[in-house]
Amino acid sequence: MPTRHPAYPLVRRPAQSGVNHLLTKSKYLSGLQCVKRLWLEEHAPQHLAAGGATQDVSRRQGVQIGRLARARYPGGVLIGGAGLEAVRHTQTALYNGATCLFEAAFVYDDILVRCDILRKLPGGRWELIEVKSTTEIRPHYLHDAAVQTYVARGAGLAVQAVKLMVVNNQGCVFPDLASFFCETDVTRTVTRLIRKLPANVAKLRGHLAQPHAPQVLIGAHCGYPHLCPAKSHCWQHVPPESIFTIPRLSARKIARLLRRGIVRIQDIPADFPLTPPQRAYVERVLAGAPAIDRPAIARRLGELAYPIYFFDFETYAYAVPRFWGMRPYQQLPFQYSLHVLEADGSVRHAGYLHTDGSDPRAGLAHALVSHIGPSGSVVVYNARFERSVLRDLAHTQPVYRQRLRSIGARLWDQMEIFERHYLDPRFEGSNSIKRVLPVLAPHLSYADLAVQRGDQAQAVWGEMIASDDPAHRAQLAEGLRAYCARDTQAMLEIHRALCRLAEE
């Protein structure tokens, strides 16, 4: 076992691992997910993808949640600096008698960690609180808390209790944020995990000391608990028609196939257990042709009534709610687009974009009920999402409640066609509109747009309402309008393609 540090954390040089740098908490967690990911992060970072818009939003939300958590403990000392400098600041704060620390840093066994909150308990022992921005406790959070506790105790801090603090998205409603957090004591679980931690660390250091990346099979761990930034590197030779495209194929079955060296759908044994929908998809891939139930598609299209409204929301999920009646992470609609198809074949477009930081719901609801008439079908892609947003909007906008409920009652889900009546291997196991569109309407794409994905739209809207530059705001607004309009235009073009298929 490593030598125990004196009463409070001291700065020392890495001496035991043979690696010329400290192992951090983040690196340890990366290694638990995949030792190859850890090796690439350390030795070949050029193979890692940069974080996207979703990560940027999550990072900002996490900072906001951290501040809110610290506000629960007035008088706490926020430790500044990075690396070993932060360790020295922590040491100074402890010697000066601090009883609550934020972002405290410790080194032990050549591992560097920072702890969200440390609170001194009666009797001189400490409580470690790890703050998470999600609404539930996930298994890797326990490993996160375990490595922090291991290092803090090893550095000399008497950590008695360990808690995880997550967001309460059910009982907390703005403006009352008193119940924003839920705390769970995980001391016993963390203590069990700590027993295995030195062996885990030794294993990871062994891999880091090797001149070449470890050989690791791809699998479910490439996307859990986090999407690995090296996935595109490790998956570069995975063929389009791979076992990973089979709908809802479990991680266990994927692992069974990979252990047998099977990646291509064409190599799956005929007796391998698959569900009927999975078997149907595999058969379509092997046949190299789609399965199209034209009579069923025709029946579903016959349900539509003119005018047909092709409708799409864009939303923002604030971790810390800002507007009356909202819960953490509740979807806040800030934009919509409509393409309206009349019985005579004519098409018109309408839309709404909220362009400042005020509550967008009233303005959006007013525009929406003026754009969608009292009759006609409302076509969406994934009705569950739009229906949920409409229901919440009706709840907070009583003036427009009946009209909004009428819109919700007329939703028609275009995605169901591709779930039930149109199976095509070119969709690669997904019913996403961005997989369907290139097949049914190849003349239309998102490639020419500044905003090309929903998560990117959320990030761009957040940037727009925070900007003080009118020209920049106008540019971002233009990109948002173009993206949302492309979504509903895509639905319109898919509808036209389905009508042609149904008539064949």
Q: Of the candidates 299, 292, 303, which has an alpha carbon nearest to the alpha carbon of residue 425?
A: 292
Give the other-Cβ count within 10 Å of 188's Cβ: 8
- DSSP summary character for residue 468: -
Q: Distance between CA atoms of 312 and 281, rounded to whole angstroms?
A: 28
DSSP helix/strand/coil, 427 = helix
Alpha carbons 64 and 81: distance in angstroms, whole number: 19
pLDDT tens-place values along the chain, 504 residues long: 444 444 454 444 434 433 346 899 999 999 999 999 999 999 999 999 877 667 778 888 999 999 999 999 999 999 999 999 999 999 999 999 999 999 999 999 999 999 999 999 999 999 999 999 999 999 999 999 999 999 999 999 999 999 999 999 998 999 999 999 999 999 999 999 999 999 999 999 999 999 999 999 998 899 999 999 999 999 999 998 999 999 999 999 999 999 999 999 999 999 999 999 999 999 999 998 999 999 999 999 999 999 999 999 999 999 999 999 999 999 999 999 999 999 999 999 999 999 999 999 999 999 999 999 999 999 999 999 999 999 999 999 999 999 999 999 999 999 999 999 999 999 988 999 999 999 999 999 999 999 999 999 999 999 999 999 999 999 999 999 999 999 999 999 999 999 999 987
Is the bond leading into 225 cis (omega within 30 degrees of zero)? yes
Distance, CA of 205 to CA of 35 (rounded, Å): 10
Phi (first) and psi of residue 93, to 5 degrees:
-60, -40
- 179 with 171: CB under 8 angstroms? yes
| 8 Å CB contact between 269 and 467 | no
Neighbour count for residue 3 (Cβ, 10 Å): 10
Gap between the Cα atoms of 45 and 303, Å rounded: 53
Q: Specify the 3-state DSSP secondary structure of 458.
A: helix
Name the helix (H) or strand (E) containing 456.
Answer: helix 454-466
Helix (H, G, I), strand (E, B) or coil at 288: coil
Half-sphere exposure of 284 (CA within 13 A, CB side): 23
Q: In this structure, what are the phi and psi dihedrals at residue 116, rounded to the nearest 5 degrees?
A: -55, -55
Please check whether residue 465 is in contact with residue 359, taking contact to mean a CB–CB distance below 8 angstroms: no
SS3 for 2-68, per residue?
CCCCCCCCCCCCCCCCCCCCCEEHHHHHHHHHCHHHHHHHHHCHHHCCCCCHHHHHHHHHHHHHHHH
Count the neighbouring beta carbons within 10 Å of the beta carbon of residue 72. 16
Q: Which residue has the tokens 């919509």?
A: 336
Compute the chain's Rg from CA coordinates. Answer: 27
The predicted structure's pLDDT at residue 52: 67
Instruction: Enter the tokens of residue 260.
Output: 């047998």
As given in the structure block, the two tokens for residue 73 are 């403990």
- Domains along the chain with CATH numbers: 23-208 (3.90.320), 239-287 (no CATH), 296-503 (3.30.420)
Q: Is residue 373 within 8 Å of residue 403, measured between CB atoms?
A: no
- The SS3 of residue 473 is helix
pTM over 0.85: yes
Which of 120, 121, 142 lies closest to 132, judged by CA?
Answer: 142
Question: What are the tokens at 382?
Answer: 């994934």
Q: Taking a C-beta distance cutoff of 8 angstroms, is the pair 167, 180 a contact? A: yes
pLDDT for 390: 98
Q: How far is residue 184's CA from residue 402's CA, in Å, rounded to a whole number?
A: 41
3-state secondary structure 183-241: EEECHHHHHHHHHHHHHHHHHHHHHHCCCCCCCCCCCHHHCCCCCCCCHHHHCCCCCCC
* CB distance 70 to 258 below 8 Å: no
CA-nearest of 195, 185, 104, 193 to 152 is 104
Instruction: Please count the other Cβ atoms lying within 10 Å of the Cβ belonging to residue 319.
Output: 21
**Strands 378-380, 411-413: parallel, antiparallel or unpaired by DSSP?**
parallel
- By CB atoms closer than 10 A (0-12, 13-18, 19+), residue 205 is middle
